Structure 1
Amino acid sequence: MSTQAEESREALGARLRGFRKDAGFASGRALARALNWQESKVSRIENGKQNASEDDIRVWCRTTGHEADIGDLVATLRHIDELWMEWRRQLQAGIDAPQKKLVSLYHKTKVFRIWEPNVVWGTLQTGEYAGAIFAAVRKLHGAASDSDAAAAVAKRLERQRYLYEGGRIFSVLLGEQALYSNHGGPEVMRAQLDRLMAVLALPRLSLGIVPRSAPLDIWHGHGFSMFDDKLVRVETVSAEMSVTQPGEIELYMKIFELHRQSAVYGQAARGLILAAIDHFNRAGTESRD
């Protein structure tokens, strides 16, 4: 169970505890008697130690006079159940499997909002940079063959066609650190940064860089991808999280806007990329000396 899933389950339990108290049940024991449950079940649910079932949610809400909240809480429960998808389980089918799923998602999406604080967003990656990323994934998880890795890179590069097709809008924010996180060595990084210089001219792509020195209204946190206003995908080293609840999507939208206010664009962004290219030019020279 992921930390965020645990926190979500605890939050659900706290909300149910509030319903109990609002209804005049002074203790979990009193509610357990009314529901004909074991007392320990009420305590475990309220403290986030046990998953409630959908039937548990319905009877709890009806007994405490909160029938109007059943739909929202059932949606929350389903979200918790679906919150995490273990990377190891996904990678059993090869590291290209998640990339195949994304191609279909890209086809359906009209507006993309991307925040990546430490790495270049996948759809803007060169093949060599993507290969370095997947090599790190293979090393960490012990998954995939050389052919799987090559297929994953190919699928990632395939998504780039959506930058040019249709009326899709891409609003991409990178932390300045993403320009310096060294994946593949100086030569690979210079090529990747040259790629970023080229995509600055794309008409439907807005690329902003959040300078390392920029005043922040919110901490950098983790990266995420928003697909229209329907889905947010968050990747960590151990899992992938899909956010579909409207309230949480609104929160990610707010976070994206706060990062956007700290970003620079156009010539200022170009200057930051050029500075990073100069850094890797010097690094490449020093490595040859």
Structure 2
Amino acid sequence: MAVSPSSSAQQARQALADRLAELCRDAGLNGIELAARCGWHPSKSSRIMNAKTPPSADDIRAWCHACGAEGQTADLIASLRAVEGMWVEWRRMERAGLRRAQEARLPLYERTRRFRSYSSWLVPGLIQTPGYTEAVLRAVQRRRVPIDDVADAVAVRMDRQRVLYEGQRRFAFLVEESVLRNGHGDEDTQAEQLERLRLLADGELPHVSLGVVPSRLGRSRMPVEGFWIYDKAQVNVELVSGYLTLTQPSEVGAYADTFASLADMAAYGENARRLITTAINSLG
């Protein structure tokens, strides 16, 4: 289980460790006795109970058997899987190809009613054009994915955009002005994507807000890592090494506050349109 700096992930790991420690106590065992029943080194049970070493599914099965609590095995393994899913390295998420990584997010999108997305380096996936998506995913595939299923992954992402038009959903997108000149794809690809953004800035979809945070001196808030907020329940952050899921209310709140601060700095409507038009004209 990869370790992330997120307090959400840390607290979830500790909660699982506490449940295992409670089983041990309820069985009248100490850590050394439990380790002996499982055939482990004496220190292993202590490391698991103190959340220093994450258990495997087999460790949990052995633990529950030693404590006479086999009925709790399935629930504890489910908790383990949830903890593991809070921090996922890209190489693990994408080892079966990019298509499956795109498909995995669809249930979250379908159950969300309010989306907030901030990006400092590319156009958010829900408002990308097919050509832009192909350029982005092709760059990812060349860098770290041995399987070439880019065409399928593009099709999945385009299909996922149907949530923009279904149900009573609201969307707020924020992009840094630098995103308008990030160089993904060729000139035609960039022009098509920027025209898509210009239409959104003009109010093409009334339930979709697009803000552009201008590049200027004296900003009150510097650019941060890109993130998505789903309702008030979850934040996903895309980092260089992996994909972080946050559900701790304090952390979700911190990202919501950051989004609000950046939104106050953004240009909308005609002002955003001017920034996008300038970027289009700069293509030559």
Into which bin does the TM-score normalised by the smaller protein fall? 0.7 to 0.9
Q: 3-state SS of the aligned residue for 1:4?
A: coil
Consecutive unaligned residues of structure 2, counting only runs of 5 or more, are 15-29, 33-41, 56-79
Match of 1:103 among 106, 130, 133: 106
User: Any residues of structure 2 matched to 1:163-202 within 5 Å, and which?
Assistant: 163-200=164-201, 201=203, 202=205
What's 1:68 paired with?
A: none
String of CA shifts for 1:26-75, please: whole Å, max 9, x gaps: xxxxxxxxx98999x999x99x9x3488xxxxxxxxxxxxxxxxxxxxxx
C-alpha distance in structure 1 between counterparts of 2:217 and 2:169, whole Å = 29
1:72 alignment partner in structure 2:
none
Query: C-alpha displacement at 1:84, in angstroms?
Result: 1.3
Tell me if the contact between 1:111 and 1:168 (Cα under 8 Å) persists in the aligned partners: yes
SS at match of 1:172: strand
Structure 1: gaps of 5 or more residues = 14-34, 54-76, 283-289
| More helix, by proportion | 1
Contact 2:212–2:268 under 8 Å retained in 1: yes
Which of 263, 267, 270 lines up with 2:266 in the alignment?
Answer: 263
Structure 1 letter corresponding to 2:264: Q
Verify: 1:253 aligned to 2:256, yes or no: yes
Taking only the aligned residue pairs, the percentage that are identical comes to 33
Alignment of 1:57-76 (within 5 A): none
Tell me the CA shift for residue 109 of structure 1: 0.7
Deviation of 1:262 after TM superposition, in Å, equals: 0.9
> Deviations along 1:217-239, whole A, 9 cap, x unmatched?
33211000111011111112321
Measured in 2, the distance between the counterparts of 1:164 and 1:214 equals 37
C-alpha deviation, 1:142, in angstroms: 3.3
Residue 150 of structure 1 aligns with which residue? 151
Structure 1 residues 174 and 230: alpha-carbon distance in aligned structure 2, compared to 1, 3 A threshold: same
Partner of 1:238: 241
Correspondence 1:223 to 2:223: no
Structure 1 residues 228 and 150: alpha-carbon distance in aligned structure 2, compared to 1, 3 A threshold: same
- 1:155 deviates by 1.1
User: Is the alpha carbon distance of 1:78 and 1:229 closer, same or farther for their aligned partners in structure 2, counting shifts above 3 Å?
Assistant: farther
1:22 aligns with none
Whether the aligned pair in 2 keeps the contact of 1:214 and 1:262 (CA below 8 Å) is no
- CA deviations 1:97-148 (Å, max 9, x no partner) are 1211222221111000000011101111111110010111111113322xx2
Residues 1:279 and 2:267 are matched in the alignment: no
Counterpart for residue 63 of structure 2: none
State how far apart, in whole Å, the 2-side matches of 1:6 and 1:228 are.
Answer: 20
Rounded to whole Å, the distance in 2 between the matches of 1:80 and 1:220 is 29
- TM-score, normalised by the number of residues in structure 1: 0.71
Does the Cα contact within 8 Å between 2:94 and 2:145 map onto a contact in 1?
no
Aligned residues between the structures: 233
Range that drifts further, 125-134 or 86-95: 86-95
1:122–1:130 CA contact under 8 A, matched in 2: yes
Contact 1:5 1:80 (8 Å CA) reproduced: no
2-structure distance, mates of 1:182, 1:252: 27
1:77-156 → structure 2 map (5 Å cutoff): 81-145=84-148, 148-156=149-157
**1:109/1:178 Cα in 2 relative to 1: closer, same or farther (>3 Å)?**
same
Aligned-partner residue type, residue 86 of structure 1 = E
CA gap 1:211/1:94 in 2 versus in 1, 3 angstroms: same
State the distance in 2 between where 1:144 and 1:241 align. 23
Deviation at 1:6, TM superposition (A): 9.2
2:228 partner SS: strand
Give the corresponding residue for 2:60.
Answer: none
Query: Could you give the per-residue CA deviations for residues 152-190 of structure 1, whole angstroms, max 9, x where no partner exists?
Result: 111111122221222100011000011000001211101
